[in-house]
Amino acid sequence: MKGAATRARTAPPRTLVVGGGILLASVIVGLFPTLFAPYDPNVFDYTALLQAPSLAHPMGTDNFGRDVLSRVIHAYTVDMQIAIFATVVPFIAGTIIGALVGYAGGWAEALFGRVVDAVITFPFLVLVIAIVSVLGPGLVNMYIAVGIVGWVFYARIIATEIKVQKRLDYAAAGRAMGYTHLRIIFRHLLPNAITPAIVYWMTDMALAILLGSSLGYLGLGAQPPTAEWGVQIADGKNFMATAWWISVFPGLAIVLTGLGFSLTGDGLAEVLRTKR
């Protein structure tokens, strides 16, 4: 994938730079929230209930006197975790299954196609909620639920790519040299097939945050008093008229982080497209 050294190096696309910058900042804040948060996110302060944004509390306080800014910052940890944990398992599982199915073809592929149809047909959120309601609310169960159904999207992408790669000459060369199928799939075909999955992963992480915060809002994801953006928005939903800041700021954080992921994904796609 390294570009030819003779080709003049052009600057990376703006989307990648901006998106990457946002992501980097988000990761740093998520890793070291205490460095950035002025207050403890869980401390109640009855003397400062429902305060509008001010110098002391730049994002105001909520109905328990907790500093909204600190909670938003600490929520970075939770939500960035969600982005990663809710996508990594589907990515890996989906890639493996998709590679095997795409290579095998035949009835495995036909059956796979049916499963994919059924899962995609159905609203994803409803499936996840169904599984979470069985397992019980909480982040870990949410990861499990997403893992159970989310791998399908990656598998579909990989299976298509593997099918294409399989027909190329180097795959035939591998077979002619007597390599085992598994070796061909994972050492030769997959590295070339994986780029669309990586691009999708970026989008998926943005979607994971949306899903995670939706479940947090519904009370099925992160549980209060954990600072998570969806939970925060739910906390503030009854105060929209009087203390809009409780819900509005966490929402902005979601939008910003989501933008970070999708811009990075777009930028990555552009870079990879020109290199192909």
The phi, psi pair for 67, rounded to 5°, reads -75, 120
CB atoms within 10 A of CB 92: 13
* 123 lies in the site for another protein, by CB under 8 A: yes
- Three-state DSSP at 122 gives coil
Helix (H) or strand (E) holding 207: helix 195-218
The amino acid at 208: A
Binding window for another protein (CB under 8 A); candidates: 3-11, 80-88, 150-158, 254-262: 254-262
The amino acid at 259: L
Instruction: Indicate the residue among 180 and 274 with the shorter CB distance to another protein.
Output: 274
Q: 206, 208, 222, 227: which one contacts another protein (CB under 8 A)?
A: 206
Check if the beta carbon of residue 116 is closer than 8 Å to that of residue 156: yes
Instruction: Indicate the residue among 134 and 176 with the shorter CB distance to another protein.
Output: 134
> Smallest distance from the beta carbon of 217 to another protein, in angstroms?
5
CB atoms within 10 A of CB 105: 14
Number of residues that bind another protein (CB under 8 A): 37
> Smallest distance from the beta carbon of 251 to another protein, in angstroms?
4
Q: 31, 92, 118, 140: which one contacts another protein (CB under 8 A)?
A: 118
> Smallest distance from the beta carbon of 240 to another protein, in angstroms?
4
* 56 lies in the site for another protein, by CB under 8 A: no
21-53 residues labelled b (16+ CB within 10 A) or e (exposed): ebbeebeebbeebeeebebebeeebeebebbee
The phi, psi pair for 53, rounded to 5°, reads -55, 135
* 129 lies in the site for another protein, by CB under 8 A: yes
> Smallest distance from the beta carbon of 43 to another protein, in angstroms?
26
* 52 lies in the site for another protein, by CB under 8 A: no
> Smallest distance from the beta carbon of 117 to another protein, in angstroms?
6
Say which residue the tokens 């990879």 belong to: 272
Binding window for another protein (CB under 8 A); candidates: 2-10, 69-77, 212-220, 268-276: 212-220
CA separation for the pair 262, 199 (Å, rounded):
9
* 107 lies in the site for another protein, by CB under 8 A: no
CA separation for the pair 252, 256 (Å, rounded):
6
Among residues 223, 216, 268, the alpha carbon closest in space to that of 15 is found at 268
> Smallest distance from the beta carbon of 101 to another protein, in angstroms?
17
Site of interaction with another protein (CB under 8 A):
114, 117-118, 120-126, 129-130, 133-134, 206, 210, 213-214, 217-218, 230, 233, 237, 240-241, 244, 247-248, 251, 254-259, 262-263
